[in-house]
Amino acid sequence: MRADKIREIGVRLAGAHDDAFDDCYAELGPLLRRYLRGRVPDADIDDVVQVVFVEVWRFRGRFDPSRSLEAWVLTIARRRAIDHLRARHRDTVPLEDALSMAGPDGRDIARQVERSRDLQVALGRLPDLQREAIEMAYYADLTQREIAERLDVPLGTIKARTARGLRRLSVLIASPAAV
């Protein structure tokens, strides 16, 4: 079973076994590339993947093998993708200027940016287990069954975490001051 293999890789990685890195890259590289697609420019995906795996190796001692290796790597990927995008020097306009652009495109873009920012803040306020299930479903494009197998928990647990997380997320987005 793939979940057992990934769990075993995580144990070896945390134990600093040299061969664990190659296996980790082989197993999680494709997942990481899918996750980064649409989050960073296609031309930059390989660069971000490289940075992520360097960090995975450097901080392998911080990985808790009782947790999900995939979720840990995806969390690192999310942070490195954000860092990568922040470091880019592009011609941008302030959000306020985008709102005043002529035509519907400027307003639509500004609303999308604002919604995306609200969503990221709200996700950060969810309990870890709910956020993990939602991120694996929506950012890693995994089914609930795949998430359950990878986290080695019952399918019903994943369904409950996702449903509770999505309900709480809708409240947080609708009313950012809500807890």
Q: What is the pLDDT of residue 179?
A: 47
CATH 1.10.1740.10 fits 1-90, yes or no: yes
Q: In angstroms, rounded to a whole number, what is the distance separating the alpha carbons of residues 19 and 2?
A: 18
**pLDDT, average across residues 134-160:** 88
Using a 10 angstrom Cβ sphere, with 0-12 exposed, 13-18 middle and 19 or more buried, the burial of residue 69 is buried
How much is the pTM? Answer: 0.51
Give the integer Cα–Cα distance in Å for 76 and 53. 9
pLDDT tens profile 74-119: 999 999 999 888 887 665 666 666 555 555 555 566 666 667 777 7
Domain boundaries, the chain: 1-90
- Phi, psi angle pair for 127, to nearest 5°: -60, 150
Percent of the chain with pLDDT over 90: 22
